[in-house]
Amino acid sequence: MNVTVEDSCIACGACESICEAVFTVSDKAEVNAANVEANADGVKEAAEACPVGAIVVE
């Protein structure tokens, strides 16, 4: 599973609130790839919750 954040991210912080093991938000959400597999459900939930659809899960 590969997770990326597109430049459309508005740094709202929702993904970090949902899954802080994977997402860290400063001026844009960043992905801690090492934690993705262990937090797959949280990643999917964050991707669905992102208001601008910036989280891409492949």
Binding region for ligand SF4 (CB under 6 A)? 5, 9-15, 23, 25, 29, 50-52, 54-55
Cα distance between residue 17 and residue 39, in whole Å: 13
- Give the pair of three-digit tokens for residue 39: 């937090």
The nearest distance, CB 11 to ligand SF4, in angstroms, is 5
Phi, psi of 24 (to 5 degrees): -125, 125
Closer Cβ to ligand SF4, 15 or 43, answer by number: 15
The nearest distance, CB 37 to ligand SF4, in angstroms, is 19
